[in-house]
Structure 1
Amino acid sequence: MESIQFFNGNFVPKESITFSIDDVGVLRGFGIFDYFKVYDGAPAFMEAHLNRFENSARLLGMEIPFSRNEIESAIRKLIDHNKFPLSGVKVLMTGGASPDGFSAGKPNLIITNTAVAETNPSFYTEGVSLMTHQFTREMPQVKTTNYATAVRLEPIWKQKGHVDVLYHDGQYISEVSRSNVFLVEGNKLITNEEGVLPGITRMNVINMAPQLGFKVEIRPITLTEVLVAEELFMTSTNKKVMPVVKINDEEIASGKVGVKTKVLMEGYAKLMEKETKQPSFQN
């Protein structure tokens, strides 16, 4: 059975989705999206992701052309029709066809549901490394479609054996290109808030931390602190809780996945099990 997607109120094959070359999403990068995973028909934290999508639209002054109920109904229809064992749902809104090449027009709303693969298990057992890059993202609180810097850097970090890039301003870090960052210091989790996207996985880790015996401290983090961290991990929808054991050429602590990070990975796996009624992911 052919999979379907949602485009401006219609359910169509992905190949049928087209919009104007004059769309300011194309011409000016004026667009937003959000993304979450679906496990055997069970969406993970869909409400939180749609809340963030609505907040991104509000911050950019964009009007969503469909109601929350209509969007949720469309997502359910895609999931029920496509029946992927593991998939991702992306809710995307572009600024619409521009009358003058700059001004926004009538927005396009696209919702896709596509099959995905699980992340490499070795990333959790062995940890990963990051490359650093001095860069400050524009409007970090908004999940825009502008990832030009990350896309440009991807071949470089892959060539050097890293999985992503950690942004900083020369003194303080902000975030990985698609993830939030946490430091472990004793029984304390340290994460930043200013200049970063409010990640849904980040939110869930902060909320579950006290149940696992951790206190949470939200404050700016220096690049120096990251390099001498007791343990370090990053969070996102795709990465979940992923241990970071190396920055550039410098190992974090022992260069091994930390014991406390393992506790957090197991805690998040149980949270995902409860959210999606799926067996826990074992590391």
Structure 2
Amino acid sequence: MWYWHNGELVEREKVLIPVEDHGFLYGMGLFETFRTYEFVPFLFDAHWERLMKSLDELWIDFPYTKEEIGTAIQQLCRQNDAPDLYIRLNVSAGVAPLGLYAGRYETPNVTMIVKPLSSEVVPQEKRVEPIPFPRSRPEAAFRLKSHHYMNNILGKRTLQDQGAEGLFADEHGHVVEGLVSNIFWVGPDDMLYTTPLSSGALAGVTRQWVMKHFSVIEQPVTFEELTAAKEIWMTNSIQQVAPVTHYGNLRYPGKDGVRFNEVWAKLVRSIG
């Protein structure tokens, strides 16, 4: 596979990042994960906006324009002969003096890591189960999509069903989000709900899309209260909206859910 690194297409094995990079040493880095459909990155403007906001929060400069990154995405698709790609746009802060650096990072290492995806637009059902320890609190006023993923990896290890996605709760027992997804559910009143960002949930791009196009109530929920849901879905930028078939030992309608199909139909139209 060919990756894109600091302005150039580079074979995967030849991508190099200095060991003094503060993304490697101290976790000072951010990323966006998205996918292309027939060469077109889905919801790219929203990903770009979130990345720029987060970079500003961490005082990391970004040396490329949105248009330059858009061109690089097209180059990656063509060089890899893959119009449908998983793309991780990664920004590692760059080399700075050893120790806790308080200045601006002016020369980050910017890399796009890719892998091919299926061109089929079909719902991917999921199983979910609770994680037995709390979600770590955000690094800033809002959760950044940062390099800090130890909490997620440790959570993954606790799952009895390694094919499932774990659900994090906060220290008060309220569900926050999944390991790699935001959560939505249909309540007994047929209303659509999601967890509030104040819980520490990531402001996911697909979450944002659902909330823009449908009426959604942000409300805390416990693991026990979630068992009363009629439908549960997980949202992220690769699977988009993934309907849940099992929450622990409980069964849910998955892709047969009525409200899920309303959202999925609109999503497919948006993809084109």
Q: Work out whether the TM-score is over 0.5.
A: yes
Aligned to 2:155: 153
Supply the AA of the counterpart residue of 2:201.
V
Matched residue of 1:25: which SS? helix
Q: Give the match's secondary structure for 1:130.
A: strand
**What SS does the aligned partner of 1:102 have?**
coil
State the partner residue of 1:47: 45
CA displacement at 1:230 relative to structure 2: 2.1
Aligned to 1:188: 191
Q: Do 1:166 and 1:177's aligned partners in 2 also have CA atoms closer than 8 Å?
A: yes
Which moves more between the two structures, 103-112 or 228-237? 103-112
Q: Per-residue deviation at 1:117?
A: 4.6
- Give 1:67's aligned amino acid: T
Instruction: Tell me whether 1:8 sits opposite 2:6 in the alignment.
Output: yes
Question: In structure 2, how many angstroms separate the alpha carbons of the residues matched to 1:42 and 1:50?
Answer: 14
Matched ranges for 1:187-226 at <5 A: 187-191=190-194, 192-194=196-198, 195-209=200-214, 215-226=215-226
Q: Would the alpha carbon gap of residues 177 and 129 (structure 1) be closer, same or farther in structure 2, given more than 3 Å must change? A: closer
| 2:246 aligned counterpart, secondary structure | strand
Q: Which amino acid aligns with 2:192?
A: L
Other structure's SS at 1:234 match:
strand
Look up the match of 1:86: 84
- The letter of the residue matching 2:180 is R
Deviation at 1:120, TM superposition (A): 11
Matched with 2:178 is 176
* SS of aligned partner of 2:82: coil
Give the number of equivalent residue pairs. 260
Bigger shift: residues 115-124 or 236-245: 115-124
1:37 CA displacement: 0.7
8 Å Cα contact 2:38-2:83 kept in structure 1: yes
CA distance in 1, matches of 2:114, 2:156: 24
Unpaired runs of at least 5, structure 2: none
- Percent identical pairs in the alignment equals 24
Instruction: Tell me, yes or no, if the aligned pair for 2:127 and 2:165 is still in contact at 8 Å.
Output: no
Tell me how far 1:64 sits from its aligned partner: 1.1
Report the alpha carbon displacement of residue 166 of structure 1 after superposing the two structures with TM: 0.8
Q: Deviations over 1:175-224 (max 9, x none)?
A: 11211111212342111222211111111112222xxxxx3212333333
Displacement after TM superposition at 1:151 (Å): 1.7
Report the equivalent of 1:58: 56
Distance in 1 between residues matched to 2:36 and 2:80, nearest whole Å: 11
Q: 1:72 aligns with which of 70, 73, 78?
A: 70
The answer to whether 1:256 aligns with 2:261 is no
The structural deviation recorded for 1:113 is 3.2
Query: Does the 8 Å CA contact 2:33/2:238 hold for their aligned counterparts?
Result: no
Contact 1:129 1:161 in 2 (8 A): no
- CA distance in structure 2 between the partners assigned to 1:262 and 1:161 by the alignment: 27
> How far apart are residue 136 of structure 1 and its match?
2.6
- Mapped to 1, the partners of 2:119 and 2:151 lie a distance apart of 25
Of residues 142-151 and 5-14 in structure 1, the stretch that sits farther from structure 2 once superposed is 5-14
Q: Which amino acid aligns with 1:130?
A: E
Offset of 1:137 from its aligned partner?
A: 3.8
